[in-house]
Structure 1
């Protein structure tokens, strides 16, 4: 019986440490501001499949995306402002409202070599569009 209690205690301690780690990691990622909740479709599948919850942040000319539940300190995806060709938006379809944050719109970002699908609030979309348009002079127009 004591062994079972020891195993349960170790599992509970590990779960608490993991929750503390995720909270600390999120705090560290958001310390400089410019972050927002943002889901990303990691795999091109049917609507509602392949989505991961995350958060995005602006770092200079880059938009970095991080998974919420990950042990990694580095971004899963980095999009440079120069790669963006344009964006289109749509409402979530199929199962997408179930696997993304509530009230988010789907943003299809056209990059030079592929399309990336984000889900974010309309306020965050306004920020992304402003970030895209705020490129330094003598660079291409993105929209």
Structure 2
């Protein structure tokens, strides 16, 4: 085979891999959202640098847990999980500076406390309403003073 035939084969293979990856992302998102309760949710994984460390993702309510999935991975498992009784809502703010370019448009930054430390999430206003309702809708018998 000539060198240009090898080059065409390599380019064709790379294009096929990209198409399969894109199709895999679409199928994964459909599978995650088939039970409902999913929404666009970004998570700040590095708190040491102001306005940096955000990762885009999807949130899904699963009973007493909020599961967070990264957007650009094919893994069916959540990357982070927070239990409802461990999260305490601290407030919200508008994205600052470079955060506006890192997050989905019109998302707010939500500050929460957990046993492992502060948690920052970014979500839309309508998703925030659902998040607050989910936090407040604890099952009967919950010790509200424990928070």
Same fold (TM over 0.5): yes
3-state SS of the aligned residue for 2:144? coil
3-state SS of the aligned residue for 2:11? helix
3-state SS of the aligned residue for 1:78? strand
C-alpha distance in structure 2 between counterparts of 1:89 and 1:129, whole Å: 11
In the alignment, which residue of structure 1 is the partner of 2:106?
Answer: 103
In the alignment, which residue of structure 2 is the partner of 1:90?
Answer: 93
Number of equivalences: 143
In the alignment, which residue of structure 2 is the partner of 1:134?
Answer: 137
- Report deviation, 1:73: 1.1
In the alignment, which residue of structure 1 is the partner of 2:40?
Answer: 37
In the alignment, which residue of structure 2 is the partner of 1:4?
Answer: 7
Larger Rg: 2
User: Where in structure 2 are there 5+ consecutive unaligned residues?
Assistant: none
TM-score by length of 2: 0.93
CA contact (8 A) 1:53 1:67 kept: yes
In the alignment, which residue of structure 2 is the partner of 1:69?
Answer: 72
- Report deviation, 1:140: 2.9
3-state SS of the aligned residue for 2:23? helix
In the alignment, which residue of structure 1 is the partner of 2:62?
Answer: 59
C-alpha distance in structure 2 between counterparts of 1:76 and 1:87, whole Å: 23
C-alpha distance in structure 2 between counterparts of 1:15 and 1:125, whole Å: 34
User: Where in structure 1 are there 5+ consecutive unaligned residues?
Assistant: none
